Amino acid sequence: MSDMHTIPLAALERAIRLVVAGFGSAPDEIESVAANLIDANLTGHDSHGIGMLPRYTEAYLEGGLAPNAHARIVLDAGALLRLDGSAGFGQVIGKEAMALGIARARRHGSAIVALGNSHHLGRIGAWAEQVAAAGLVSLHFVNVMAPPIVAPYGGIRPGFGTNPFTAGVPLAGRAPLILDFATSMIAYGKSRVAYNKGQAVPEGCIIDNEGRPTTDPRWIVTEPSGAILAFGAHKGYGLAVLCELLGGALAAGMVGHREDGSKKRILNGMLSVIVDPAALGGSAAFEREAQAFVDSLLGAPPRPGFDQVQIAGDPEREQRARRSARGLPVDATTWQQILDAAASLGVDRRSVQCAAGLA
Ligand SMILES: NC(=O)c1ccc[n+]([C@@H]2O[C@H](COP(=O)([O-])OP(=O)(O)OC[C@H]3O[C@@H](n4cnc5c(N)ncnc54)[C@H](O)[C@@H]3O)[C@@H](O)[C@H]2O)c1
């Protein structure tokens, strides 16, 4: 297993801002990209955090990621928006898309935002959190325009990406429900993290290039490649297909498997449905019933092997609090890849090392 660094939050923020500045990003963009990636690490989703920077760097250097781009309204039908992400950083485009959707849902009671051509939107839960913080409910169907990596139920060859489904529900008197998962057994980045750490992935998640079960992440990270399985057999597979049809074909006008596999860019399409509970007229009942229901779940006795019953979003909030206080674990291979990426962006490795307190 490779060595781990534990980097205090403030030091990691300084170091990652230096790396992101290498893209030529404006100060706001540096802040948005660094904060979003680090927050993914803080919430425990290292697969969608700073470890993405080497891939973003390759995408940028080959012209597939456009720094300082903004979400552009292509169609404005009031409560229905079609946006073009201009191949900009998803960390910026996602935030702008949700801000537009929130404003429209407040005005019309609900809004649908169809977003295409955004570079990688990262941890989709961040967008559900942004909407929930505004007191609104949201659903997000996302596809991934990158070489397919997940096999259809019953198939051997990959047919689509790890297509996340995400929902956010604000709750009275407590933090929101944030349900946020890849429709694959594991996110692609979790295979990369396991491979970098020299670890196996859990059983039942991936198959080799002949469809045989394996736990070796090399089948996902290197050639010849196998495939990740969809979660929940035919049910998760069905949800993955829905994400491709809604986030890809409908919102982005493009499905993932058409993407040129030689390219390093990762584009996401996302269909977001945003609802203002107050506009439905029964927000008091919604708040009361939702709170009572969630309390009944959380009050249930845990079964052996569990400390407590939680709702979606709680594990990320706990991890965020823990890692904010104790520092963020970053494996040495991933850190080295980030330093290499910084160097190829013209950023001095040593200054990044010093900022992180690792020199
Ligand atoms: N942008 C992209 O292209 C892309 C693609 C795939 C995945 N992703 C992101 O990858 C991230 C990781 O996805 P994943 O599938 O590995 O997530 P995961 O398997 O860790 O599941 C996370 C979800 O399960 C909930 N959860 C976990 N333990 C729980 C418990 N004990 N009780 C109740 N709820 C619990 C979490 O709160 C969260 O909502 C997500 O943020 C997703 O958006 C992004």
Residue 192 belongs to a domain with what CATH number?
A: 3.30.60.50
Give the closest residue (by CA) to ligand 1 atom 17.
Answer: 181
Encode pLDDT of 191-215 as tens digits: 888 998 899 999 999 999 999 999 9
Cβ of 7 below 6 Å from ligand 1: no
Residue among 180, 298, 306 to mutate when testing ligand 1 (max atoms within 8 A of CB): 180
Residue among 48, 91, 98 to mutate when testing ligand 1 (max atoms within 8 A of CB): 48
Q: At 246, list the tokens.
A: 């809604």
The structure tokens 């505004």 sit at 134
> Are both 79 and 167 inside the same structural domain?
yes
> Are both 264 and 200 inside the same structural domain?
no
CATH number where 242 lies: 3.30.1370.60
% pLDDT > 90, the chain? 92
Classify 253 in phi/psi space as left (phi over 0), alpha (psi -120 to 50) or beta: left
Residues linked to residue 9 through DSSP beta bridges, in sequence order: none
Which 3 state secondary structure label does DSSP give 8? Answer: coil
**What gap in Å lies between CA 114 and CA 211, rounded to an integer?**
35
The arithmetic mean of pLDDT across residues 238-256, rounded, is 96
Q: What's the 186 CA to ligand 1 centre distance in angstroms?
A: 9
Cβ of 164 below 6 Å from ligand 1: yes
Give the closest residue (by CA) to ligand 1 atom 2.
Answer: 122
Q: In terms of C-beta density within 10 A (0-12 exposed, 13-18 middle, 19 or more buried), how is residue 273 classed?
A: middle
Q: What's the 154 CA to ligand 1 centre distance in angstroms?
A: 24
Domain that holds residue 272: 70-184+233-326
Cβ of 126 below 6 Å from ligand 1: no
**Rounded to the nearest 5 degrees, what angle is found at the Cα of 213, between the Cα atoms of 211 and 214?**
120
- Which of 229, 263, 289 terminates a domain? The answer is 229
Identify the CA nearest to 30 among candidates 10, 15, 47: 15
Predicted confidence (pLDDT) at residue 1 exceeds the cutoff of 60: no
Q: Give the pLDDT of residue 215.
A: 97
**What gap in Å lies between CA 278 and CA 264, rounded to an integer?**
43
Cβ of 179 below 6 Å from ligand 1: yes
> Are both 89 and 125 inside the same structural domain?
yes
Cβ of 268 below 6 Å from ligand 1: yes
Please give the full DSSP string across 99-134, using - where no structure is assigned: HHHHHHHHHHSEEEEEEEEEE----THHHHHHHHHT
> Are both 104 and 174 inside the same structural domain?
yes
> Are both 315 and 177 inside the same structural domain?
yes
Cβ of 51 below 6 Å from ligand 1: no
> Are both 122 and 246 inside the same structural domain?
yes
Model pTM?
A: 0.96
> Are both 168 and 309 inside the same structural domain?
yes
Ligand 1 atom at minimal distance to the Cα of residue 90:
1
Cβ of 181 below 6 Å from ligand 1: yes
Predicted confidence (pLDDT) at residue 259 exceeds the cutoff of 90: no
Q: Give the pLDDT of residue 270.
A: 98
Q: End-to-end CA distance of the chain, in Å?
A: 22
> Are both 123 and 251 inside the same structural domain?
yes
Look at the chain and report how many structural domains it folds into: 3
Q: Give the pLDDT of residue 2.
A: 61
- Which of 229, 262, 288 terminates a domain? The answer is 229
Which 3 state secondary structure label does DSSP give 49? Answer: coil
> Are both 91 and 143 inside the same structural domain?
yes
Q: What's the 205 CA to ligand 1 centre distance in angstroms?
A: 15
Ligand 1 atom at minimal distance to the Cα of residue 126:
41
Cβ of 125 below 6 Å from ligand 1: yes
Quick check: 145 and 259 in contact, CB under 8 A?
yes
Identify the CA nearest to 141 among candidates 119, 115, 118, 108: 115
Encode pLDDT of 12-41 as tens digits: 999 999 999 999 999 999 999 999 999 999
Encode pLDDT of 270-319 as tens digits: 999 999 999 998 789 999 999 999 999 999 999 999 999 999 999 999 99
Q: Give the pLDDT of residue 266.
A: 93
Tell me the pLDDT band of 355, cut-offs 50, 70 and 90. very high
The distance of Cα 297 from the centroid of its chain, to the nearest Å, equals 27
The arithmetic mean of pLDDT across residues 46-61, rounded, is 96
The arithmetic mean of pLDDT across residues 73-84, rounded, is 98
Residue among 46, 181, 192, 267 to mutate when testing ligand 1 (max atoms within 8 A of CB): 181
Q: Give the pLDDT of residue 257.
A: 73
**What gap in Å lies between CA 92 and CA 123, rounded to an integer?**
13
Q: What's the 347 CA to ligand 1 centre distance in angstroms?
A: 32
> Are both 172 and 57 inside the same structural domain?
no
> Are both 143 and 283 inside the same structural domain?
yes
> Are both 154 and 127 inside the same structural domain?
yes
Encode pLDDT of 178-193 as tens digits: 999 999 999 887 888 8
Question: How many Cα atoms within 13 Å fall on the side-chain side of residue 286?
Answer: 15
Q: Give the pLDDT of residue 206.
A: 97
The per-residue pLDDT of the chain, averaged, comes to 95
Ligand 1 atom at minimal distance to the Cα of residue 124:
43
Which 3 state secondary structure label does DSSP give 36? Answer: helix
Q: What's the 144 CA to ligand 1 centre distance in angstroms?
A: 16
Give the closest residue (by CA) to ligand 1 atom 24.
Answer: 312
